[in-house]
Amino acid sequence: MATRDPNGKHPIQKLMDNPWLLLVLGIVIPTVSYTIWGWIELWLVPTATLP
């Protein structure tokens, strides 16, 4: 079971109450996921044949 601090807040609640952490996660996670998605899409694009 998770340990609680003397104030009675769960550790996850303490993390989720931090607006700066949420801001950073909200910027970093989409940026990294879309970047990786873009690399995979570029890797899977077939080479173009020139006329």
* C-alpha to C-alpha distance for 29 and 32, rounded to whole angstroms: 5
Over residues 23-33, mean pLDDT:
96
The pLDDT score that the predictor gives to residue 51 is: 83
The pLDDT score that the predictor gives to residue 1 is: 56
The pLDDT score that the predictor gives to residue 8 is: 86
The pLDDT score that the predictor gives to residue 15 is: 86
Over residues 11-15, mean pLDDT:
89
* C-alpha to C-alpha distance for 36 and 22, rounded to whole angstroms: 21
Residue type, 42: L
What's the full length of the chain, in residues?
51
Identify the burial level of 12 via C-beta atoms within 10 angstroms of its C-beta, where 0-12 means exposed, 13-18 middle and 19 or more buried.
exposed
Which residues does 10 contact at the CB level (< 8 Å), separation at least 6?
2, 4
| pTM for this entry | 0.62
